[in-house]
């Protein structure tokens, strides 16, 4: 972790930490489930499943098809998702939506297996937007 002096007067750009993997991982709530407490609602769960969204060009390069089960992985762990191929995700980025209970996940882990416990250099905040993953077929 980079330690910056409190006396440093101006912010400066620091390269993202990332991982040795090709895709930046973004996490977000789903339109149906804001947080994990919504896992108790079967009516909402029937409308969603644990998906990883990927750009069509990236999916084609991997030979993936929409709806197939895939595994996202990095040095910390792996998690199984259903693939959603969409133009709404830029190339080089994958998006995991929702906070899923383990018993509702398609595999033994959720997206939390991929994120770091490392804290930011300023403010000691979460670094879950500084995560990279690779993806393979299940």
Closest C-alpha to 21, from 136, 137, 138: 136
Task: Tell me whether residue 5 is in a domain.
Answer: no
Asked if 81 and 52 count as a contact pair (C-beta separation under 8 A), the reply is yes
pTM: 0.80
Asked if 115 and 46 count as a contact pair (C-beta separation under 8 A), the reply is no
**pLDDT band at residue 43, thresholds of 50, 70 and 90?**
low
pLDDT tens across 69-84, in order?
999 999 999 999 999 9
Q: What is the CATH number of the domain that holds 119?
A: 2.40.40.20
Asked if 53 and 91 count as a contact pair (C-beta separation under 8 A), the reply is no
Task: Tell me whether residue 30 is in a domain.
Answer: yes
Task: Tell me whether residue 73 is in a domain.
Answer: yes
Predicted local confidence at residue 53, as pLDDT: 98
Helices (H), the chain: 42-45, 56-62
CB atoms within 10 A of CB 87: 8
Asked if pLDDT for residue 55 goes beyond 80, the answer is yes
Task: Tell me whether residue 36 is in a domain.
Answer: yes
In terms of residue numbers, what domain contains 98?
Answer: 23-137
């Amino acid at each position: 972790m980079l330690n910056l002096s409190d006396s440093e007067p101006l912010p400066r750009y620091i390269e993202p930490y990332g991982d040795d993997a090709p895709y930046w991982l973004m996490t977000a709530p789903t339109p149906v489930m804001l947080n994990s407490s919504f896992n108790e609602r079967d009516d909402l769960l029937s409308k969603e499943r644990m998906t990883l969204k990927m750009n069509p060009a990236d999916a084609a390069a991997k030979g993936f098809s929409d709806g197939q089960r895939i595994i996202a992985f990095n040095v910390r762990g792996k998690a199984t998702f259903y693939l959603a191929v969409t133009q709404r995700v830029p190339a080089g980025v994958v998006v995991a939506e929702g906070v899923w209970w383990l018993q509702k996940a398609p595999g033994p882990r959720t997206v939390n297996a991929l994120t770091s416990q490392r804290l930011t250099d300023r403010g000691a905040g979460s670094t879950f937007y500084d995560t990279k993953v690779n993806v393979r077929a299940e």
